[in-house]
Each structure stands twice: as C-alpha cells, then as structure tokens.
Homo-oligomer: A and B are copies of this chain.
C-alpha cells in the first residue's frame, strides 16, 4: 500500500489552484496517494483541468476555512469542519500517514497538537526549516512554533533536529550548534548561555559545535542550529528578505546599460540556476516535529512546485520513520 498524504487544499495564497496542481504533480512523480481536503466543488473544478484518472487522488469534504487573522486556538475548536481540522483528522484516524498545510501556520500547529498530540518526551513541538548555505543545506529549529523557549526545549530541538538531519537530509553525525551572537559560551542572552551549558552535556547524542553566528550558519559550518522560535522566524524572514534584495539589485545592475544587458543575456543560464538554487520552493516547506504524525508546513505563498516538494518531504518523513526515531530516544532515556 502506498503512503497517503492529506493536503489542506484551501490553505495558502494560491489555494486551491496551486495546491491541487502541486498535489497532482506529487502523485505522478512520487507514487503517493493524495487526499485533497476542502470544498468538494472547488476541488473538482480544479481536478477537471488535468488528466488524473490513473492517479490515487481522492477528495475529502471540509466546508469551512480558518482565515489568517483568526485566533488559531479558538478557531480550531469552533470550526470542526475547517479544512485544516479535517486534514489533521485524516491523519489521526489513520486514513493518511502525513499532511501538508500552507494556510495559517498557527492553525496548522494548533490543529496538529490538538488532534494528534505530542510525542513522548517532547515538551513543545517545533518547526524544522531547511536553510540553503554555501555548502549543503542546514536545519533551523525552531523556525517559529514557540516565541519563548527554555534551555530544555532547545535541547529537545537539538535531538529532533539531528534525527531530521540524518534521516531526511542524509547527514552522518550532524553538527549541532546554538544560534548566537558570539562564539564564546558566555555570549548571548540567558537562554543561549544556559542552552550552551545543557547541550554541551549531551555530546554522546550529537556532535556539539557550540555557538554559531549568522555568518557561519550560511557558510555551512553546522548541520543543525537551534534557537527559540522568535529568533528562528526572524532569521528565516531576514534570510528571505536579503536574498530577494540581492537578486533585485543584481537585476537592476544588469539592466542598467546595453553592455550589461548583453552580458546578462549570454550568461543567463547562471542566473536561472542561481534563482532556482536560492528558491525556498525547492525545499518543500518545514516539518512540525514533536507531534504524533507527520505535518509539513509549506510557505503561504507556495506555488505548485513548493506543494509537490512538501508532499515529498512528508512522504520521506513517513518512510524514514522520523517519529519512531524520536520516540526511540525517549525510550532510551535520552530525552
């Protein structure tokens, strides 16, 4: 039996069009079953645009939507028929093994936590995002689930992040660091100082490389970097903002004269590759780690390609038994 992934087809800036298109591409490319959750007529309308007879795609009815400005906790309790709630429910019931959500991140987290529960030993679920670096990609955890954290949470993130890094990214003995503003153990705020102390006590569980600064992180000096969700989310958005800014400035410079335009035309393959290489769509979203189920949170602005890759990440997390590996650590008294 192939793996089934449930997708909240109504969540995200380009729902349902791009969600449906990405789901079809994933079903075709990764040999995975898909459940599209949302308004049946709208999803059907999109599906009718493509040839999908031979694909394992079904529609699951969900008549309401949680909007971006709703309070997640309240909304998931009130709207039992919201697409994200029903999507999570498919995983809870065992009808699907993983889910993809591109709508309100808060609602996806609340619905998953409420509907699936936490893994043993994990105080708070966290978002693991994949960052490009000049070397191979790194994992940033927590990328936004918990605005305030304590050192113990950062330790749990380190465990989950290193399992993610080895299981999904294929890194042997992932190097784990604390995102900080200086190299010495005394640097930073109370959280990073105490997290440094705690993480350095458990070096049998991962390769601890100490504090990591932003410059080193993007130079590929570690495989997993832990931080609180506020700092992690700022990092993610600053990185995106700076990458966009540099690309925009590059474009402007290349357009600034006839001669630079000619050069740009000749070298255009380099720019296409660069854009693809810096594109978050290729990474396929972030995993919410620490819950009893596989939940991939895709960017709100995801197009079909990002959704397709998000399904791939969800499938891999199921195949590689990510959650089983985290539970094993608990059973071994290592969390």
Contact = CB atoms under 8 A, between A and B. Distances in A.
Interface of A: 69, 132-134, 144, 147-148, 179, 181, 184, 188-190, 192, 213-219, 229-231, 233-250, 253-254, 256-257, 259-271, 273-274, 277-278
B238 A217 contact: yes
A148 B270 contact: no
A229 to B, nearest CB: 8
Contact of A266 (B214, B219, B246, B259): B259
A-B CB proximity, top 9 nearest: A263-B267, A214-B237, A263-B266, A218-B241, A214-B238, A253-B270, A181-B233, A147-B189, A242-B242
A237 B188 CA distance: 14
13 contacts: A69-B184, A132-B245, A133-B245, A181-B229, A181-B234, A214-B237, A215-B237, A218-B238, A218-B242, A250-B250, A260-B266, A260-B267, A263-B264
Copies in the complex: 2
Nearest to A259: B266
Contact of A189 (B179, B215, B230, B248): B230
A148 B189 contact: yes
Contacts of A249: 134, 274, 277-278
A227 to B, nearest CB: 8
A184 B278 CA distance: 28
Nearest to A228: B189
A230 B193 CA distance: 12
A180 B195 CA distance: 23
A13 to B, nearest CB: 14
Contacts of A244: 134, 215, 218-219
Contacts of A266: 259-260, 262-263, 266
